[in-house]
C-alpha cells in the first residue's frame, strides 16, 4: 500500500508544533492564491443575475409603452393582425435606434361606439416560438409544438400551460387620428402564470 | 472518506500521483530561491482563469472591441478589477521571467543534463512575450493600435518570410476585423496551448532532473510538502498583493461618486483611429529597451535593430549550455546575463527619461501628446456614457461627430492662420484655446455671447487686436460709429443721461446675443431687455439706428454691412464661413477672408465639407455634449 500522503516517514520530522504551523500556512496561503483569480472574475461572471433588464425598453416618459401604428391601420374585422414592434434597443454597449424588437397581434373592436384594441404578444407562452393566426381555423397556432389558442387568447389545446399573454394598450391622440401604444413585455415561458421578465 | 479515497485510488492511482507531486525530495532544505518557477506557474494560472472570463466579455471586431472593453471597464460590476488583474499579472509575469532566468543562470542550471529544459524555458519566454504583444492590441485603443503597428511592421523586416508572415498575422495588408480575430485567436488559443504544452514538458523534465542544488549539506533534506510549498505559496501571495496594489494604486485619490471603473485598473485609451496618428504611441514598458535601441541604430537598416540584434542576443542565450562547458564559460554567462539586463535597464531608463524629462522639444511634444490622448480617452468615455449611447457603427463615430473633439482640429487647420480662439482674460481648457501666431483677424472666443457683443460696442475694444484691430475694418464705419458716436457720448454725458446710454448699450447687447440663441445664455429675465434692445437697434430718434447700415429682421437693407438678423446663430455662422462676400455679410468690404463652402452645387470643390462646417460652428458656439453629473453611475 502507498504511504499516506500526510506523512513522509523516511525523512527527519520537524517539531510537531512548527510542522503544524507550516502545514496550516501552506494550506491557507495556497487556498488564497488559488481562489484569487476566480474571486477577481466572480463579479463579472455573475453580473447578469444581479442586474435587471437594461434601461432600454422600459421606463422613461412613456412608461414602457411603444407606438405600434395608427388605429386606422388595424382592419375593423374583429380578426387579429400582426404588427411589428419598433423601438430603440440597448444591447450591452450598443444603442441602436428603430429596431424591430418583436411582434404583436392587435384586434380592433367597438364598445359603446368607442374603438377598443386587444393586444397579444406573438411569443408562445409554451417555449417562446412565434405564434401565427390561422384565419381559416379562426385560432392562433404555434408552429413549434402545436399549441393553439382562441381569438381571446385562451388555450384550446397543446402543451402550453397558459393562454396567450395579453399586453396593455392605450389609444393616444384625437378622435380622428388615434394611435395604438402597447406596453411591450416579455413573459417567462413554460409556467402556468404569465410572469413578466423584469 | 477513507473508503472513498481507497476506492478512487484503486481505480486512478491518485495517492501515488499526489505523493509524487507533493513529496519531491529536496536535499539541503527549503529555500526562497526555488520559488520563481512556481510564481510563474501561478501567474499563468491567473491569466488562464481571468482570461477565460475576459473572453466571455470581449467582442473582437473593429466596431466592437473597444466598445466591449469600455463596457466591461465602466459598466460591468467588478469589470475593472478583472481587467486590471489580467493586465498587471501580465506585467508581473515578464518581470518574474527575468528573475527566474537570472536564477537559473547563476545556479548553472542550464548545464548537462538540463540543456534541453533550459531551451524549453527560452521558448516559454518567447511565448510569454508574444502573449503580451498580442494582448496589447485587443482593446483596440489608440495606444495598442499604433504600438502594435510598429511591431507588425518589424515582423515584415524579417528576410524572405517576413512580408507573408505579416500578412498572415494581420489578416491582410491593413488593420481591421481580421487583425483582431487573428490576434485574438493567437492570444487566447494558439499561444496559451503552446505555453501549456511547453510548460508541461518543462515541469516533467524539471522533475526528472530535480532542483539544481548548490549545497546539499546546508540543512537536513526535506520534501516539497509542506516546507517548500509554504515558501512557494507565500511568494505567490506576494505576487498577488503586488498585482492588487498596482490595480488599486489610484484608490486613495479616487473621487467618491465617480464609478471606480474610470479610475482604477488598466488604462483604456480612445478608440483606435487610423486617420489620427498617435504621437504618444509607445510599446509596453518591458519592450521600451528595444524601442530605444531602434532610435540609436538610426544609421543602420531598421532590420539591424528589429531583427538582427535581438536575434543574436537570443542566439547567445541558446548557446549558454555550450559556452558553460568551458572553464570560464559559466562566469561569462553570468556576466553576459547581467550585462544584458543592465543594458536593457539603462535603455529603458533612457527611453523613459527622454520622453518624460520635459527638457527637449521631443519630450514636450510627447508629454503634450500624452495629455491630449488622456483628454481624448476621457472624452470618448463621456460620449459613450451619454444618453445617446454608442451607435452600431462604433465609438469612433462618436468622436468624429463631436464638436469638442473635432473643433480644435478644424480650427487649427482652416482658421488659426488668422484667427485666435482664446479667452482674453483668465484661463480655460488648454485643448480649447488656440492662439494664432500672427493674428490678423478677430479672436473668435465666445462669438455671439453678450461679452462678445459688449466688446464690439466698446470704444476701447473694437479697434483692438481681439476685434477689428488687425483688419481693414479698423478704418471702417462700424469702428467710426462706436468711437465717435458712442465713445464721445460716453465721455460727455453725465449722471442720468450716461446711465441711460449705458442701459441702451446693454439692451442692444442682450438683443443681439439673443439672435445667436446660445443655450448657455438663456435666462429668465432676458425677454424684456431683448425687446428694449430691438427698439434701440431700429429706432433712429432715441436709439442707435443700426439699420442705417445693417439689416435687422424686417428693417434695413442688405449690402452695406452684415445682416444682424440671427447674428452669430448656427445658420448665420455657417453661411458667413461658407461665403463672407455673400450679400448678407461683406459683399464689398470683405477683408481677405476666404469662402470655405461657397459652391453649393459641387460640395467637393469646397474647402470645408458640410459636416465639418457644422462641427466647426458648433464648436465656436461652445455647443457640445457635457454630462450634468461627472459621469452616470455604473449600473
> At the top level of CATH, which class does the domain A65-183 belong to?
mainly beta
Highest mean pLDDT among A172-186, B115-129, B280-294: B115-129
Q: What is the mean pLDDT of chain B?
A: 92
User: What is the domain partition of chain A in residue ranges?
Assistant: 11-51, 65-183
Residue A61 pLDDT class (50, 70, 90 cuts): low
C-alpha cell at B275: 486617420
Between B108 and B257, the higher pLDDT residue: B108
Final residue in a domain of this structure, among B338, B356, B374: B356
pLDDT reported for residue A54: 46
pLDDT reported for residue A14: 56
Q: Let me know whether B539 and B495 are in one domain.
A: yes
Q: Let me know whether B479 and B587 are in one domain.
A: yes
pLDDT reported for residue A3: 43
Q: Are A189 and A124 in contact (CB under 8 A)?
A: yes
Does residue B634 register a pLDDT over 50? no
Contact state of A25 with B233 under an 8 Å Cβ cutoff: yes
Tell me the average pLDDT across A105-126. Answer: 90
Q: Kindly report the CA angle at B569 between B563 and B570, in degrees rounded to 5?
A: 125
Q: Let me know whether B490 and B605 are in one domain.
A: yes
Contact state of B53 with A94 under an 8 Å Cβ cutoff: no
Q: What single string gives the DSSP state of each residue in B575-621? A: HHHH-TTSTTS-TTT--SPPPSS--SS-GGGSSS-HHHHHHHHHHHT
In this complex, is the C-beta atom of A32 within 8 Å of any C-beta atom belonging to chain B?
yes
Residues composing chain B = 635
Residue A40, H or E segment: helix A16-50
Contact state of A5 with B18 under an 8 Å Cβ cutoff: yes
Of A14, A26, A40, the CB nearest to B85: A40
Of B229, B233, B390, the CB nearest to A94: B390
Q: What single string gives the DSSP state of each residue in B260-293? A: GGGTSSS---SBP-TTS--TT----GGGHHHHHH
Of residues B533, B69, B225, the one with CA closest to residue A22: B225
- In chain A, which among 74-113 make CB contacts under 8 A with chain B? 90, 92-96
Domain assignment of residue B367, yes or no: yes
Domain assignment of residue B275, yes or no: no
Q: Let me know whether B293 and B392 are in one domain.
A: no
In this complex, is the C-beta atom of A2 within 8 Å of any C-beta atom belonging to chain B?
yes
pLDDT reported for residue B442: 94
Domain assignment of residue B43, yes or no: no
Does residue B103 register a pLDDT over 50? yes
How close is the nearest chain B Cα to the Cα of A39, in Å?
9
Domain assignment of residue B331, yes or no: yes
User: Which residues of chain B are within 8 Å of residue A3 when distances are taken between CB atoms?
Assistant: 19
Three-state secondary structure call for residue B174: coil
Q: Let me know whether B349 and B373 are in one domain.
A: no
Does residue A59 register a pLDDT over 90? no
End-to-end CA distance of chain B: 46
Q: Are A142 and A158 in contact (CB under 8 A)?
A: yes
Q: Let me know whether B576 and B611 are in one domain.
A: yes
Tell me the average pLDDT across A121-126. Answer: 94
Of B53, B230, B391, the CB nearest to A26: B230
Q: Which chain B residue lies closest to A92 (C-alpha atoms)? A: B71
Residue B103: HSE in the Cβ half-sphere, 13 Å Cα cutoff: 18
Contact state of A30 with B234 under an 8 Å Cβ cutoff: no
Contact state of B230 with A36 under an 8 Å Cβ cutoff: no
Query: In a mutagenesis test of the A interface, which of B16, B52, B71, B82 is the best target, namely the one with the most A β-carbons within 10 Å?
Result: B82
DSSP strand pairing (A94-111 vs A81-91): antiparallel
Contact state of A93 with B392 under an 8 Å Cβ cutoff: no
In this complex, is the C-beta atom of A130 within 8 Å of any C-beta atom belonging to chain B?
no
Helices and strands in chain A, H and E counts: 1, 11
Residue A5 pLDDT class (50, 70, 90 cuts): very low
Q: Let me know whether B339 and B299 are in one domain.
A: yes
In this complex, is the C-beta atom of A51 within 8 Å of any C-beta atom belonging to chain B?
yes
Burial of B623 (0-12, 13-18, 19+ CB in 10 A): middle
pLDDT reported for residue B512: 93
Q: Let me know whether B296 and B372 are in one domain.
A: no
For B496-553, what is each residue's pLDDT tens digit?
999 999 999 999 999 999 999 888 887 766 788 899 999 999 988 888 889 999 999 9
Contact state of B240 with A40 under an 8 Å Cβ cutoff: no
Rounded Cα distance, B509 and B278, in Å: 43
Rounded Cα distance, B290 and B104, in Å: 24
For A163-182, what is each residue's pLDDT tens digit?
999 999 999 888 778 899 99
Q: Which chain A residue lies closest to B384 (C-alpha atoms)? A: A93
Rounded Cα distance, A139 and B313, in Å: 79
Region of B615 please: left (phi>0), alpha (psi -120 to 50) or beta. Answer: alpha
pLDDT reported for residue A145: 93
Contact state of B233 with A23 under an 8 Å Cβ cutoff: no
pLDDT-wise least confident of B323-337, B525-539, B577-591:
B525-539
Long-range CB contacts for residues B449-453, cutoff 8 Å, separation at least 24: B449/B513, B449/B516, B449/B518, B449/B521, B450/B509, B450/B510, B450/B513, B450/B521, B452/B513, B452/B568, B453/B508, B453/B509, B453/B512, B453/B513
pLDDT reported for residue A4: 44
Residue B336 pLDDT class (50, 70, 90 cuts): very high
Q: Which chain A residue lies closest to B47 (C-alpha atoms)? A: A37
pLDDT reported for residue B524: 67
Contact state of B225 with A93 under an 8 Å Cβ cutoff: no
Does residue A57 register a pLDDT over 70? no
pLDDT-wise least confident of B48-62, B93-107, B476-490:
B476-490
Q: Which chain A residue lies closest to B52 (C-alpha atoms)? A: A41
Of B68, B82, B392, the CB nearest to A41: B82
CA–centroid distance for B593 within its chain: 36
A 10 A CB-CB count for B494 gives: 8
Contact state of A29 with B230 under an 8 Å Cβ cutoff: yes
Query: In a mutagenesis test of the A interface, which of B5, B226, B231 is the best target, namely the one with the most A β-carbons within 10 Å?
Result: B226
Does residue A2 register a pLDDT over 50? no
Residue identified by cell 479515497 is: B5
User: Which residues of chain B are within 8 Å of residue A14 when distances are taken between CB atoms?
Assistant: 227
Of residues B368, B369, B399, the one with CA closest to residue B381: B399
Domain assignment of residue B96, yes or no: no
Does residue B621 register a pLDDT over 80? yes
Q: Let me know whether B508 and B607 are in one domain.
A: yes
Q: Let me know whether B480 and B385 are in one domain.
A: no
Q: Is the alpha carbon torsion for B114, B118, B121, B123 positive or negative?
A: negative
Residue B468 pLDDT class (50, 70, 90 cuts): very high
Rounded Cα distance, A107 and B26, in Å: 82
Between A11 and B452, the higher pLDDT residue: B452
Domain assignment of residue B521, yes or no: yes
Q: Which chain A residue lies closest to B236 (C-alpha atoms)? A: A33
Structural domain for B377, as ranges: 361-400
Name the phi and psi angles at A86, rounded to 5: -115, 125
In this complex, is the C-beta atom of B16 within 8 Å of any C-beta atom belonging to chain A?
yes
Task: Quote the percentage of chain B above a pLDDT of 70.
Answer: 99
In this complex, is the C-beta atom of A157 within 8 Å of any C-beta atom belonging to chain B?
no
Tell me the average pLDDT across B467-489. Answer: 91
Domain assignment of residue B129, yes or no: no
Q: How many domains does one find in chain B?
A: 3
Query: In a mutagenesis test of the B interface, which of A3, A5, A19, A59 is the best target, namely the one with the most B β-carbons within 10 Å?
Result: A5
Between B424 and A61, the higher pLDDT residue: B424
B533: Cβ–Cβ under 8 A, 6 or more apart, which residues?
A: B506, B507, B508, B509, B510, B511, B512, B514
Of A32, A44, A54, the CB nearest to B78: A44
Rounded Cα distance, B342 and B348, in Å: 10
Rounded Cα distance, B363 and B352, in Å: 10
Rounded Cα distance, B525 and A6, in Å: 86
End-to-end CA distance of chain A: 59
Q: Is the alpha carbon torsion for B7, B11, B14, B19 positive or negative?
A: positive
- In chain B, which among 352-391 make CB contacts under 8 A with chain A? 384, 388-391
Of B50, B236, B388, the CB nearest to A41: B50
Q: What single string gives the DSSP state of each residue in B47-102? A: HHHHHHHHHTT---STTTHHHHHHHHHHTSTTHHHHHHHHHHHHHHHHHHHHHHHH
Q: Let me know whether B382 and B290 are in one domain.
A: no
B177: Cβ–Cβ under 8 A, 6 or more apart, which residues?
A: B60, B61, B62, B171
pLDDT-wise least confident of A119-133, B16-30, B49-63:
B16-30
Domain assignment of residue B527, yes or no: yes
Name the phi and psi angles at A178, rounded to 5: -80, 150
In this complex, is the C-beta atom of A42 within 8 Å of any C-beta atom belonging to chain B?
yes
Highest mean pLDDT among A58-67, B207-216, B410-419: B410-419
Q: Are B148 and B170 in contact (CB under 8 A)?
A: no
In this complex, is the C-beta atom of A11 within 8 Å of any C-beta atom belonging to chain B?
yes
User: Which residues of chain B are within 8 Å of residue A43 when distances are taken between CB atoms?
Assistant: 76-79, 81-82
Q: Is the alpha carbon torsion for B550, B553, B557, B559 positive or negative?
A: positive
In this complex, is the C-beta atom of A38 within 8 Å of any C-beta atom belonging to chain B?
yes
Cis peptide before A191 (omega within 30 of 0): no
How close is the nearest chain B Cα to the Cα of A84, in Å?
21
Of B49, B220, B384, the CB nearest to A37: B49
Query: In a mutagenesis test of the B interface, which of A7, A41, A88, A91 is the best target, namely the one with the most B β-carbons within 10 Å?
Result: A41
pLDDT reported for residue A11: 54
Q: Let me know whether B510 and B580 are in one domain.
A: yes
Amino acid at each position: 500500500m502507498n504511504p499516506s500522503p500526510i506523512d513522509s516517514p523516511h525523512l527527519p520530522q520537524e517539531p510537531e508544533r512548527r510542522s503544524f504551523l507550516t502545514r496550516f500556512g501552506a494550506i491557507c496561503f495556497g487556498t488564497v492564491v488559488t481562489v484569487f483569480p476566480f474571486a477577481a472574475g466572480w463579479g463579472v461572471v455573475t453580473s447578469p443575475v444581479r442586474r435587471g433588464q437594461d434601461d432600454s425598453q422600459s421606463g422613461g416618459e412613456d412608461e414602457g409603452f411603444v407606438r405600434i401604428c395608427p388605429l386606422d391601420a388595424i382592419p375593423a374585422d374583429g380578426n387579429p393582425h400582426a404588427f411589428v414592434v419598433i423601438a430603440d434597443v440597448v444591447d450591452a454597449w450598443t444603442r441602436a435606434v428603430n429596431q424591430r424588437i418583436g411582434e404583436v397581434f392587435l384586434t380592433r373592436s367597438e364598445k359603446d361606439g368607442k374603438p377598443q384594441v386587444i393586444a397579444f404578444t406573438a411569443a408562445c407562452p409554451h417555449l417562446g416560438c412565434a405564434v401565427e393566426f390561422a384565419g381559416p381555423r379562426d385560432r392562433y397556432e404555434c408552429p413549434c409544438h402545436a399549441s393553439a389558442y382562441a381569438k381571446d387568447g385562451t388555450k384550446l389545446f397543446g402543451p402550453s400551460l397558459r393562454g396567450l399573454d395579453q399586453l396593455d394598450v392605450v389609444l393616444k391622440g384625437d378622435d380622428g387620428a388615434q394611435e395604438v401604444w402597447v406596453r411591450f413585455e416579455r413573459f417567462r415561458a413554460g409556467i402556468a402564470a404569465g410572469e413578466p421578465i423584469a | 472518506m477513507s473508503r472513498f479515497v481507497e476506492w478512487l485510488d484503486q481505480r486512478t492511482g491518485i495517492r501515488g500521483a499526489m505523493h509524487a507531486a507533493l513529496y519531491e525530495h529536496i536535499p539541503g532544505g527549503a529555500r526562497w530561491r526555488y520559488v520563481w518557477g512556481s510564481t510563474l506557474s501561478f501567474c499563468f494560472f491567473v491569466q488562464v482563469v481571468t482570461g477565460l472570463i475576459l473572453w466571455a466579455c470581449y467582442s473582437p471586431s473593429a466596431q466592437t472591441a473597444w466598445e466591449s472593453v469600455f463596457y466591461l471597464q465602466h459598466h460591468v460590476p467588478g469589470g475593472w478589477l478583472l481587467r486590471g488583474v489580467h493586465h498587471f499579472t501580465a506585467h508581473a509575469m515578464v518581470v518574474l521571467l527575468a528573475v527566474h532566468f537570472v536564477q537559473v543562470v547563476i545556479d548553472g542550471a542550464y548545464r548537462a543534463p538540463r540543456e534541453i529544459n533550459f531551451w524549453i524555458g527560452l521558448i516559454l519566454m518567447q511565448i510569454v512575450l508574444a502573449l503580451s504583444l498580442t494582448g496589447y492590441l485587443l482593446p483596440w485603443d489608440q495606444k495598442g493600435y499604433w504600438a502594435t503597428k510598429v511591431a507588425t511592421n518589424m515582423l515584415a523586416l524579417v528576410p524572405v518570410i517576413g512580408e507573408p508572415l505579416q500578412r498572415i498575422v494581420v489578416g491582410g495588408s491593413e488593420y481591421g476585423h481580421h487583425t483582431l480575430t487573428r490576434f485574438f485567436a493567437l492570444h487566447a488559443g494558439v499561444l496559451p496551448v503552446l505555453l501549456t504544452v511547453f510548460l508541461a514538458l518543462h515541469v516533467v523534465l524539471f522533475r526528472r532532473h530535480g532542483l539544481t542544488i548548490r549545497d546539499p549539506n546546508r540543512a537536513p533534506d526535506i520534501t516539497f510538502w509542506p516546507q517548500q510549498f509554504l515558501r512557494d505559496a507565500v511568494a505567490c501571495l506576494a505576487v498577488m498583493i503586488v498585482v492588487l496594489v498596482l490595480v488599486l494604486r489610484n484608490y486613495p485619490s479616487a473621487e467618491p461618486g465617480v464609478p471606480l471603473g474610470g479610475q482604477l485598473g488598466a488604462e483604456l485609451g480612445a478608440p483606435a483611429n487610423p486617420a489620427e496618428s498617435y504621437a504618444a504611441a509607445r510599446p509596453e514598458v518591458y519592450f521600451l529597451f528595444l524601442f530605444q535601441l531602434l532610435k540609436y541604430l538610426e544609421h543602420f537598416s531598421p532590420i539591424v535593430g528589429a531583427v538582427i540584434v535581438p536575434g543574436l542576443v537570443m542566439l547567445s542565450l541558446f548557446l549558454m549550455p555550450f559556452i558553460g562547458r568551458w572553464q570560464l564559460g559559466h562566469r561569462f554567462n553570468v556576466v553576459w546575463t547581467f550585462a544584458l539586463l543592465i543594458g536593457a535597464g539603462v535603455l529603458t531608463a533612457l527611453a523613459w527619461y527622454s520622453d518624460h524629462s520635459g527638457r527637449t522639444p521631443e519630450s514636450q511634444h510627447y508629454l503634450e501628446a500624452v495629455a491630449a490622448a488622456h483628454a481624448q480617452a476621457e472624452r470618448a468615455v463621456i460620449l459613450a456614457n451619454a444618453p445617446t449611447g454608442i451607435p452600431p457603427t462604433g465609438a469612433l463615430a462618436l468622436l468624429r461627430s463631436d464638436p469638442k473633439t473635432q473643433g480644435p482640429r478644424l480650427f487649427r487647420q482652416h482658421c488659426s492662420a488668422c484667427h485666435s480662439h482664446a479667452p482674453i482674460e483668465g484661463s480655460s481648457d488648454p485643448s480649447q484655446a488656440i492662439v494664432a501666431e500672427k493674428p490678423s483677424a478677430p479672436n473668435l472666443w465666445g462669438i455671439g455671447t453678450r461679452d462678445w457683443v459688449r466688446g464690439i460696442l466698446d470704444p476701447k475694444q473694437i479697434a483692438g487686436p481681439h476685434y477689428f484691430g488687425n483688419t481693414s475694418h479698423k478704418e471702417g464705419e462700424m469702428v467710426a460709429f462706436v468711437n465717435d458716436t458712442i465713445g464721445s457720448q460716453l465721455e460727455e454725458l453725465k449722471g442720468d443721461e450716461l446711465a441711460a446710454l449705458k442701459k441702451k448699450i446693454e439692451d442692444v447687447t442682450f438683443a443681439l446675443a439673443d439672435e445667436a440663441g446660445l443655450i448657455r445664455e438663456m435666462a429668465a429675465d432676458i425677454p424684456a431687455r431683448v425687446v428694449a434692445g430691438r427698439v434701440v437697434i431700429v429706432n433712429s430718434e432715441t436709439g442707435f439706428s443700426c439699420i442705417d447700415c445693417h439689416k435687422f429682421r424686417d428693417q434695413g437693407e442688405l449690402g452695406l454691412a452684415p445682416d444682424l438678423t440671427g447674428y452669430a446663430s448656427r445658420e448665420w455662422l455657417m453661411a458667413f464661413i461658407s461665403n463672407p462676400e455673400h450679400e448678407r455679410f461683406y459683399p464689398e468690404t470683405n477683408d481677405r477672408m476666404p469662402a470655405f463652402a461657397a459652391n453649393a452645387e459641387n460640395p467637393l470643390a469646397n474647402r470645408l465639407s458640410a459636416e465639418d462646417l457644422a462641427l466647426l460652428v458648433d464648436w465656436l458656439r461652445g455647443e457640445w455634449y457635457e454630462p450634468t453629473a461627472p459621469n452616470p453611475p455604473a449600473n
